[in-house]
């Protein structure tokens, strides 16, 4: 099982990702906490805009390719940067779950696990 944890900064109302199990989950953590943040709808809009197959934000780069969204670290020091590969359905679901379970409810802790080809968000107050 792969995972990434997030903690709510009560003062500012945003999340910090910590304790990821690997580079791919670190990339997911940076994407959700920093880039998607409180506005995942902007990435949903990008996803449905056929004129722009690539996007980037503060920390991550996104590419739509052959039924997948590839997320990578904009500032990777790796010769061949690691990518997190998600199906279109997985990408849209993680954005929806992030908005519904995290942004709207503001739990103190968030745990995302990737197991059996599924990304599952669990929260704790």
Residue ranges making up the domain that contains 66: 2-124
Q: Which residue has tokens 């379970």?
A: 101
Report yes or no: 36 and 43 within 8 Å, Cβ to Cβ: yes
Average pLDDT of the chain is 94
pLDDT at 77 over 90: no
State mean pLDDT over 37-46: 92
Distance CA 49, CA 45 (A): 6
Q: Is the pLDDT of residue 38 over 90?
A: no
Domain count, the chain: 1
pLDDT of residue 12: 87
pLDDT computed for residue 24 by the predictor: 97
When comparing pLDDT for 22 and 37, which is higher? 22
Based on its alpha-carbon atoms, the radius of gyration of the chain, rounded to whole angstroms, reads 14
């Amino acid at each position: 099982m792969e995972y990434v944890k997030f903690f709510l900064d009560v003062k500012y109302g945003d999340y910090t990702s910590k304790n990821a199990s690997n580079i791919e989950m670190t990339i997911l953590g940076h994407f959700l906490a920093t880039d998607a943040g409180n506005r995942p709808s902007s990435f949903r809009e990008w996803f449905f805009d056929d004129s722009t197959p690539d996007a980037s934000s503060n920390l991550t780069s996104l590419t739509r390719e052959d039924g997948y969204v590839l997320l990578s670290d904009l500032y990777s020091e790796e010769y061949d940067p690691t990518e997190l590969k998600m199906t279109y359905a997985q990408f849209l679901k993680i954005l929806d779950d992030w908005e519904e379970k995290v942004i709207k409810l503001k739990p103190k802790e968030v745990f995302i696990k990737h197991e059996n080809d599924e990304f599952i968000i669990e929260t704790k107050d």
